Amino acid sequence: MSIERITSRQNALIQQVRKLRTSRSERYKTGLFCADGTKLLQEAIRWCEGLHTVILSEELEIPKLPEHVRVCVVTKELMEYASGMGTPQGALFLCRMPKQDREVSLSAGTLILDGLQDPGNVGTILRTADALQIPVVLSSGCADPYNEKTVRASMGAVFRTPPVQLSREDILARCQEQGLQLAVTAMSDDAVDLRKSACNSYAVVIGSEGQGVCKEYMDAAVARLIIPMDPRCESLNAAIAAAIVMWQMKQ
C-alpha cells in the first residue's frame, strides 16, 4: 500500500474535500461524500464497500484498509484546514454513494420523513431505524443523508443501511400502486393515540417540527396519529418523535 504525503492547502484532494463537505450539488455530481472521525472510519472500513480515500494526520497509525483505498497523510494544521470539526480527530475519508434501487418498493412499517431539514435529527433517526430494523424513506425537503453532519449523527448507519430518497409524488404513486395505506403524525382533534393504533400496518409520515406534515400526505392519509403528552408541551423533537413511532411499530 503506497502512502501519499500532502503538504499544500491548494492540493486538489484537499480542495475537493472542502467542496464535498459544504456542497450538496458537488456530492451528487461526483457521487462522493466526505466523513470525519476515527470511529466513523472504522465503521466505514467494516461496512462501506465504497470507501474511496482516507486522509490521516501524520501522528495517527494507519489502520488496515482494503487494497484499493487511496491513503494520504497530512500535517495537523492541514487536517484542521480540511476538516469541519472544531477539534479534528485526525481522520477524513471519502466514500462513493451507493446506487439506489429505483424500483425500491415500500412496505407497511416504513417510516417516511417529510421536510426534516436538520442533519442532526435526520442522522439520529437513521441511527435509531438501523438499530430497530425499520425501513426509512427520506422524502422531499429532508436534509441530505450524505451531509457530513448527518453522517456523523448516524454513527455509521448510512454505511450499514444505505438511505432511500424518493419524491413525494413518487411515494404517493407507489403507495397507490401497492395498496399501502399512509398514516401521518399530527396535532389534530381527530388524531388517534399512537398506542391504540396498529402503526406497523401503515407507512407512517413524520413532518418537521416547524411545518408538520405537508398537505399532500395529510390528504392521502387514512389515519392521523398523535403521541400522548402533557397538554402544556407543544411538541417533541422530530428525532424523539420518530423514535417513539418506530418503537411502537415494533410492538
Identity at 140, one-letter amino acid code? S
Question: With left for phi above 0 and alpha for psi between -120 and 50, is residue 162 left, alpha or beta?
Answer: beta
Contact call for residues 207 and 175 (beta carbons, < 8 A): no
> What is the 8-class DSSP label of residue 199?
G
**CA 76 – CA 90 distance, rounded (Å):** 7
pTM of the model: 0.94
> What is the 8-class DSSP label of residue 212?
B
- Along the chain (251 residues), what's the average pLDDT of each consecutive run of 10 residues? 92 98 97 97 96 96 94 96 92 94 86 96 98 96 97 96 94 94 87 88 91 93 89 85 95 85
Q: Tell me the torsion sign for CA atoms 150, 116, 18, 89.
A: negative
The pLDDT of residue 101: 75
Residue at grid coordinates 503538504: 7
> What is the 8-class DSSP label of residue 251?
-
Beta strands in 69-218 (DSSP E): 70-74, 91-96, 111-114, 136-138, 164-165, 182-185, 192-193, 203-207
The pLDDT of residue 188: 76
- In sequence order, which residues have a C-beta less than 8 Å from that of residue 31 and are 6 or more positions away? 96, 97
